A and B are shown apart, each in its own frame.
Chain A
Amino acid sequence: MNIFVIGDNDTVLGFRLAGVRGSVVGEKDDAALALENALRDASNGLVLVTESIAHMVRERVDMHRASAGMPIVLEIPGASGPSASRVPIGDIVRKAVGVSV
């Protein structure tokens, strides 16, 4: 299986060198389309999405994760570092466990 990356120019370029295919995305519509294609492709085992892009298509990402389907979607910090709008995993943990870890 492959890794697929969706992100800004720099990120995709970088990953491509390591053998990761990807698509460069700028607008929200592009992002939705690219994500949809990446999720539908059965040869993808892991889809990396930069946080800023994931933020544009938050709904689809969450929906995919809730269904626990393939492939795994992972948000990575973009070239500019971790974004502030990230939902910390601590929130999910606290909801399930009742205490923060």
Chain B
Amino acid sequence: MANRLPVNPTRMEMLRLRKRLQVAVRGHKLLKDKLDGLMKEFMLIAREYRKYRLEVDAELPRVMKLFVLAEVTSSRLVTEDALESTRQELTITRSMRRVMSVSVPHLDIAFGEVQGGYSMVHTSIELDQAISGLREFLPKLLKMAELEEAVRLLCGEIEKTRRRVNALEHSFIPRMRETVKYIKNKLDEMERSNTSRLMKIKDQRLAQEA
């Protein structure tokens, strides 16, 4: 059973505690609602993340294999030369999105102009395939990065919220209830003893006067 709080059993303390108890109960309800909301969002994001992860795991090695193929079909030197002479501008922008009061990143990708080019004669078709494959693949990778971060952040938030809910539910609120009950008992007890004392004194007075 929960221990009661170390307070003096006075009426004022009891009133104060009752008020705190009310706040705690309301807070508990709110936090529990927040936890439910977080869970709901989290489940959606986690499922989506899993989908993307599987896709990325399957596709990235395939894309990378295209590069290896490109290297094999033309010489490594030619491929590297082609890579060196190509400059593709690529920037990502990062914005924040709020999910249940948790800031999660949102990434956007923008491809810039392709500068320079490589010889179409000396390089193989696999290189072209590899390049376009990777370009198509990048947005997916970004989406996954975004989702993974969101999963991580939401996980942290859920853990924190759950601890709070549990602390309130199993420790704070019972302890306050217990203390209020204890003070009430104590006060009643004091009142009873006071009444009986008064009765006793009254009896003694009456006996003296008689």
Which positions in A face B, CB cutoff 8 Å?
1-3, 10-11, 13-20, 45-46, 48, 65, 68, 72, 74, 76-82, 89, 92-93, 95-97, 101
**Complex interface bits, B149-193 against A, C-beta within 8 A gives 1, otherwise 0:** 101110110110010000000000000000000000000000000
How distant is the Cα of A95 from the Cα of B130 in the complex, in angstroms? 39
Q: Given the complex of chains A and B, what is the CA–CA distance between A74 and B91 in angstroms? A: 17
Q: Which residues of A contact B65 (CB under 8 A)?
A: 79
User: In the complex the two chains form, is B145's CB within 8 Å of A101's CB?
Assistant: no
Check: B53 CB closer than 8 A to any chain A CB: yes
* Assembled-state Cα–Cα distance A95/B170 (Å): 20
Minimum distance in angstroms from A101 CB to a CB of chain B: 5
**Given that A1-B92, A19-B112 are contacting pairs, would A74 and B64 also be in contact in the complex, using a CB cutoff of 8 Å?**
no
Are the C-beta atoms of A72 and B60 separated by less than 8 Å? no
CA of A45 to CA of B94, assembled, Å: 7
> A45's contact among B57, B92, B151, B159, by CB below 8 Å, is which?
B92
Residue of B with least CB distance to A71: B94
Q: Is the CB of B107 within 8 A of A79?
A: no
Counting chain B residues whose Cβ lies within 8 A of the other chain, the interface size class is: 35 or more
Interface of B (DSSP majority class): helix
Pair B135/A74 contact, Cβ less than 8 Å: no
Binary A-proximity of B67-109 (CB < 8 A = 1, otherwise 0): 1100000000001100100111111111000000000010100
B21 at the interface (CB under 8 A from A): no
Q: Are A81 and B90 in contact (CB under 8 A)?
A: no
B67 lies within 8 A of A10 (CB): yes
A13 close to B67 (CB less than 8 A): yes
Contact of A77 among B61, B89, B93, B130 (CB under 8 A): B61
Measured in the bound complex, the distance between the Cα atoms of B61 and A15 in whole Å is: 12
- Which residues of B, 105-123, contact A by the 8 Å Cβ criterion? 105, 107, 111-112
State the 9 A-B residue pairs at the shortest beta-carbon distance, nearest first.
A19-B90, A19-B88, A96-B155, A74-B145, A14-B67, A79-B64, A101-B46, A18-B134, A81-B61
Do A101 and B88 touch across chains, with their CB atoms under 8 A apart? Answer: no
Query: B23 near A: Cβ within 8 Å?
Result: no
B64 near A2: Cβ-Cβ < 8 Å: no
In the docked arrangement, what's the CA distance between A16 and B135, Å?
Answer: 11
Contact segment of B12-20, B25-33, B136-144, B202-210: B136-144
- B148 (CB) vs chain A CBs: closest residue: A74
Given contacts A77-B57, A77-B60, is CB(A15)–CB(B134) below 8 Å? Answer: yes
Closest to A65 in B: B152
CB closest residue in chain B, given A70: B94
B138 contact set on A, CB distance < 8 A: 3, 18, 20
Q: Which of A46, A77, A78, A92 contacts B145 (CB 8 A)?
A: A46
Partner among A2, A19, A78 whose Cβ is within 8 Å of the Cβ of B111: A19
- In whole Å, how far is A75's beta carbon from the nearest beta carbon of chain B? 9
